[in-house]
Structure 1
Amino acid sequence: MKKLIHLFAILIATFTFIGCSNDDDNGTPMPEGNTIVDIVASNSEYSSLAAALDAAGLTAVLASEGNFTVFAPNNTAFSTFLSANGFASLDEVPVEVLREILLNHVVEGVNTSGDLTTGYITSLATGSSSTENLSLFINTTSGVEINGVSEVTQADINADNGVVHQVDAVIGIPNITTQALANPEFSILVEALVAASDSNINYVDLLSGTSAAPFTVFAPTNDSFVALLNALGLTSLEDIPQDLLQTILNYHVIAGANVRVEDLVNGQSVTTFQGESFTIDLDGGAKIIDATGNPSNIVVTNVQTDNGVVHAIDKVLLPQAAIDIVDPTIAGLAMMTPDLSTLAEALQITGLDDVLDDRNSEYTVFAPTNASFDAFLTANGLSSLNDIPVEALTQVLLNHVLSGSILSVELTNSYTNSLATYANTDNNLSMYINIDNGVTINGVSDVALADVQAANGIVHVVDAVIDLPTVVTFAVADPNFSSLVAALTRPDQPDFATILSTENGTSPAPFTVFAPDNVAFNDLFVELGVNSLDDIDGATLTAVLNMHVIAEANVRAEDLESGPVTTLGGDIIIDAPNTTITDPNGRVSNIVLVNIQATNGVVHAIDKVILP
């Protein structure tokens, strides 16, 4: 109706103009024009097109004032079209059919070849499933190709009311299959449709026809299929069982409805051709939430065809029926688990989904839930993952990953290394595991669901994001350092917790901390003849604690050299081969645990408190 009103207005204007005198108000003859119709009429190569325009009643339209772009098929193109469709001549083509085909070659506005880019534009034709105009896919990769079937052979023939591009084939009325074939971004989707077809269902025929039409198709791009194959650890579509592929494809189709993006409703539950439903989410852009709980963004909308509409999406949608039978990698498991959807998004942002899709390596991942990420973002004053620099987010995620598959029963009270690294080095950050009451990581995150098996490792779901640790993190997390923490946080002491949390690169960070364990403090009390920390005066305690910290240096065990070293409280003597420290009183402390690596320094545990 919209198109007919538009054309009616143009025809009225045309006939009004024709009905007026050929002279202007002063009686001066009007110059002859060079309309699109004039160009067609003057070129014998377009005689079939001229006859078709007359037969369809469109000659006056393309002779009118206005701006049009016309993809003009030559005579050979019309002959091929008529033969392919079983017509002996133009007279045998129904007028309404011919009219829509011709309008499918006309675009409103002037689009020179230099203006055309790869993507979708809209013709003046309409199809049987909607009153909206049909889409044309323009591909400028090599010349200009329209809908994958017609190429521009002569461009930019300028007219007074637009521009003409000669094409070598008639652009037929497109169906959904036409547009899937035309756009290279859907090439894997086309392969999937073919691979899934059997004697019971032929997807190419189904999506080309009118049975169960109109269709609404949410079409995954090539990158979407590649991500799915990686998640499943597969190399090609041929590795996906045909019945599973059918289940997945059916979940992308709505039958009997031409649902354009403006028809979508936030929170709407949509029943698919597969039988299960997905949910529409319009907050922050149009998205689909499938059975995995992970959003798929609608990245191209309203590709209108004769038998339905196509919307391109950036993730393959998965129904529960598909999730139940696949063997996902860790990244795939995150993608398919509703409560890990934020983790899956973070992995995609950082590219770590590729790492955790690798079936040739094994990993253990402490996987934060969506609520964990929400709390982490709120605590850091952030509104979304996109507010975090990618490199920083990468390190946070790697701080949840261990090499190898480690079941919960194999975890002990001990330090291990995550895949996150210190500064610009290859030195991995440490992680403290405590199993005294369940499994706690770095004193901040508890395992809520253990031992979820994936194809390439183990996932332990945790209730908090494990932020990048400082030296204070480990002192607080490890109960063996509880006496040290009590000393550092005693009210009469400097704010050691804040000082030792200083970000790396900001003075006095980084730090090297020689951390006495609880046994060392108990021995000190005996040595000094006191009962507890309370019996040591504030100034003395401050002096003692300063003896355990080297400022502005991250000295790992392999970097220790024998000789004097200056701490915040004075000099100590390092014996590197024997990993001992001698204080100014000649007392010797053994380094019993090395290289507890934090983001702002390194901790070495010692068995005797150093005295000034």
Structure 2
Amino acid sequence: MILLTTLFMVISCEKEDGIETSKEDGLTIVETAQGQDALTSLVSALITADVNEGTDLVGTLSSEGPFTVFAPTNDAFAALLGQLDGFDSLEDFDTDEERAILAKILTYHVVAGTAAASTDLSDGMMVTTVQGEDLTISLEGGVFIDDATDMNAQVIIPDVAASNGIVHVIDKVLLPQEIIDALNAGEMENETGTLVDIVVATEALSILEAAVIKADLAATLSSDGPFTVFAPTDDAFVALLDILGDEYNSLDDFDTMEEMALLKDILLYHVIAAEVKSTDLAPGQVPTALPDNSIEVIASGDTFVIGDASGTDANITGVDIMASNGVAHTINKVLLPQSAIDFVTQLQLKSIVEIAVETEDLSLLVGALTQANAGLVETLNGDGPFTVFAPTNEAFVALLDTLGEDYNSLADFDTDAEKDLLVTILTYHVVAGTAAFSSGLSDGQEIETFQGENVTINIKDGTVHVADATGENATVTMPDVEASNGVVHIINKVLLPQAALDALEPPMPNIVEAAQATESLSSLVAALIQADAGLVETLSGEGPFTVFAPTNAAFVDLLNNLGPNYNSLEDFDTDQEKALLAQLLTYHVVAGAAVASTDLTDHQEIVTVQGESLFAILGHGVQIRDKTHVDANVTIADVMTSNGIVHIIDKVLLPQEIIDALH
């Protein structure tokens, strides 16, 4: 307290020589301070604090900002150093904890997010500093800054503009309450040293030292405590890295947010928030600084071992290393909480693709993923999580048998269209964004797949079944094969979405294709071609059409009735005769509708493409009446095509126009 009292009475209240109030345009706050002879101590203090890993005050105050900085003069820093035993210059801040204290002092002089000119300040205004505590502005008799001490600092040069903020030069180093408490506790002069000091000074704990700094726990373990630290040796950390595998060769490999959080959890698991000497050890669970996690002190002969979540105990190799804020005991093993066990377990799991590759009965699935050539192997090796329903080799063989002779192996999916079909099938087995274990599935549950369609879960007698668009269940023969990026359920059937069923079904023929495939309609096809009027193309178009299709026998009867000049359809060979044939054929076509036999009514008038009408006669089956006195019988009704409907009839229909032309 005597130190503090004398410290705060040494204040210089006069402006210093050599401080320039003007600047060159474009200079940052740091560059502005570097250009002022009276602020060299401030610049030196910033550089000294930045020696600590993770501290970059120079870089921060060189960034965009804006910042408001209250900049103590060289004399102000000299006054501070003069009152601290063992601190003749800023270079004497030479330990991590001392530099951390210096950084706290410096950030107490910085306000982030604003460039506050002196005209923006008001009497009694409170501003929050980067350090976290507030400063109070007083405007009585000048501009004064009130810190946690009883002595204000005076702004001796206001409003020194910089490219990223504004600087007000002050005649005193501001001290927050945090630093006053630290000074009162004598932390900067403690001869014993904190737990962090002990770790730093112990050669066999160098990796623990690096871990504490990396996890940003140095300040915590330098605080009042008391703490008990079970300190793993370097050999213990090396053993842990070996367990973690090839990707963890040093602490530098803990570089993701998840890994940094894990490292912090592990270190806190070694800390007890009380001073427990070796003579105080007793069997039982002991809560650690990692919330909701305990270690176990286990009696072993005349001593104790420490149990963690791994089941492998740590031996105590050194006891009662006393510090100013607690005690340390060295151990030969890194203690692992459950979160670390889970992490290690996850590391040892294989990806979904690796599991498939190593499972003999899934070799065809791997082959299908490769044959699809759509990046599915890379996708299922990614982070996930995924749920994969994995068909066995036997399931793929059954699929190939179903597909017919054109598909003897997966290599027969060799066109772009077939590979796309294979991708459609495979992605129907994948659920993205979740690892759905069987315990989380419910009867009747519908799950959207990566392909876009749903599969349905059916559970019977505790067995999980998966229904696809065929309605036939696949049975999960081996559930819950855990992977590093999800879960695999092995199934006994290849699942097929509706999109695959549609692609695998032979396309429905159009009217012309249906006629070409029907032997009894070959004369009709020949007539369409002979007419040479684009009727083949028309009746292959979108439609819809209704066609009354005369059989070959019907055309023979027509030719016989036409006389000796018409022995075959080829005798329609002049332009006039071809036009006549076209008129005859279009009298058999209704455009714009596919009229089923069940849609017809008795004596219904049917307008044809030729222009004249037909009439449906119902009673004894379905007859079609033309302009003659003999009705045509519909011998086969409702032949569905992709662009309409065909009714096969036993007579060539004749419009009045043709009757007149033939006579």
**Rg (Cα) greater in structure:** 2
TM-score for both structures, normalised by structure 1: 0.28
TM-score for both structures, normalised by structure 2: 0.26
* Larger RCO of the pair (alpha carbons < 8 Å, separation 6+): 1
